[in-house]
Amino acid sequence: MEKPLFTAHNILLDDGTYTKDPSLPAMAKDPRFISAKNIFGSTLQGDRSRLRIADLGCLEGGYATEFARLGYDSLGIEVRESNFSACNYVKSKTGDLNNLNFSRDDVLNIERYGRFDGVFCCGLLYHLDKPKEYLKVLGKVTRKVLILQTHFALTDDFNPLGLADTKFQLSPLQENEGIEGRWYQEFDHDTKVSDKENMRWSSWENHRSFWPTREYLLQSIYDAGFETVMEQFDSLKPNIIQGLGRNYYSAMRGTFIGIKSNP
């Protein structure tokens, strides 16, 4: 099988090669993966082979692969053919991972795959135009813990840098789905499907996405059925103080956790 282009995930394969570059950090050392590993390890108890993990919008399959290596029943869902080809390549080069599977599908169809003990949603929610509605869906399919790695919007009252200094061009503060946030333009209305296929880090159908403010994002996670809601900061280590400085507010991105007490 010919190796496809990998744009993000540097995965160690069974033959000792990497999907990107051996001089770059591997997925197993990715701070977001390590944080997720710690959360799943702390909240999911029992035989890992019986614990289902979903990696939504899994891109090139790196996180899903590492979850499988931890022993979980891991499913990565990815809609783009270019990314899905990368997932299949990884699957073909990690033959011992019978607990690793990929499905080419829109993550909006997550309910058709049943329920999961843990859901990993990294780099996805901020590509949706109805994030609150999707969080409610995730509340239905998640038995225990949701890890949500996403961008958020800042309010006018709390914006340490000023909108001009952030990395993204967002709309003025508006209301959508009854929550406050800002719109982000993904692509033009008339963008061709073939062009969207090549936009590997953008939304799939909606031409613009809605980023809730941090406050409304936390509330929406709680409203989706997760009694315990928090933001996780250990992916910023070793210098969490510096990590919560200018770059945190410029990127407007964090890791949010929802945990159910009685799944």
Tens digits of residue pLDDT in 3-59? 998 999 999 999 999 999 999 999 999 999 999 999 999 999 999 999 999 999 999
pLDDT over 60 (residue 79): yes
Instruction: List the alpha helices (DSSP H) in the chain.
Output: 31-43, 62-69, 81-92, 131-141, 193-198, 214-223, 240-243, 246-251
Convert 182-218 to b/e letters by CB count within 10 Å (16 or more is b). bbbebeeeeeeeeebeeebebbbeeeebbbbbbbbbb
How open is the CA angle 9-52-81, to the nearest 5 degrees? 40
Residue 20 in any domain: the answer is no
Which string of DSSP letters, residue by residue, matches 53-71? EEEET-TTSHHHHHHHHTT
* C-alpha distance from residue 57 to each of 150, 157, 233 (Å): 12, 33, 22
Given a contact cutoff of 8 angstroms between Cβ atoms, the answer to whether 256 and 143 are in contact is no
The CATH number given to whatever domain includes residue 79 is: 3.40.50.150
Q: How confident is the model at residue 198 (pLDDT cuts 50, 70, 90)?
A: low
Look at residue 210 and tell me if it is in a domain.
Answer: yes
Burial of 17 (0-12, 13-18, 19+ CB in 10 A): exposed
The percentage of residues in the chain with a pLDDT greater than 70, rounded to a whole number, is 88
Say if 77 falls within a structural domain.
yes
> Does a structural domain hold residue 8?
no
Per-residue confidence (pLDDT) for residue 1, from 0 to 100 = 78
Q: For residue 5, is it within any domain?
A: no
Specify the number of domains making up the chain: 1
The mean predicted confidence, pLDDT, of the chain is 90
> Is a pLDDT exceeding 70 seen at residue 201?
no
The answer to whether position 12 is within a domain reads no
C-alpha span between 165 and 6 (Å, rounded)? 30
d(CA 136, CA 126): 15
State yes or no: pLDDT of 205 exceeds 80.
no
Which DSSP category does 19 fall into? S
pLDDT value at residue 88: 97
Specify if 183 maps to a domain: yes
Q: Tokens 């496809």 sit at which residue?
A: 4
Instruction: For residues 85 and 80, give the distance between their C-alpha atoms in angstroms, rounded to a whole number.
Output: 9
CB 170 within 8 A of CB 183: yes
Task: Tell me whether residue 236 is in a domain.
Answer: yes
Reported as a single tens digit per residue, the pLDDT across 103-162 is 999 999 999 999 999 999 999 999 999 999 999 999 999 999 999 999 999 887 766 665
Q: Identify the pLDDT of residue 97.
A: 96
User: CA-CA distance, 209 to 128, in Å (whole number)?
Assistant: 5
pLDDT given at position 2: 87
Q: Which value, to the nearest 10 degrees, does the dihedral of the CA atoms of residues 57, 232, 165, 132 take?
A: 50
Greatest extent of the chain over all pairs of C-alpha atoms, in Å = 53
Q: How many helices (H) and strands (E) does the chain have?
A: 8, 10
Q: Give the structural domain span for 93.
A: 27-259
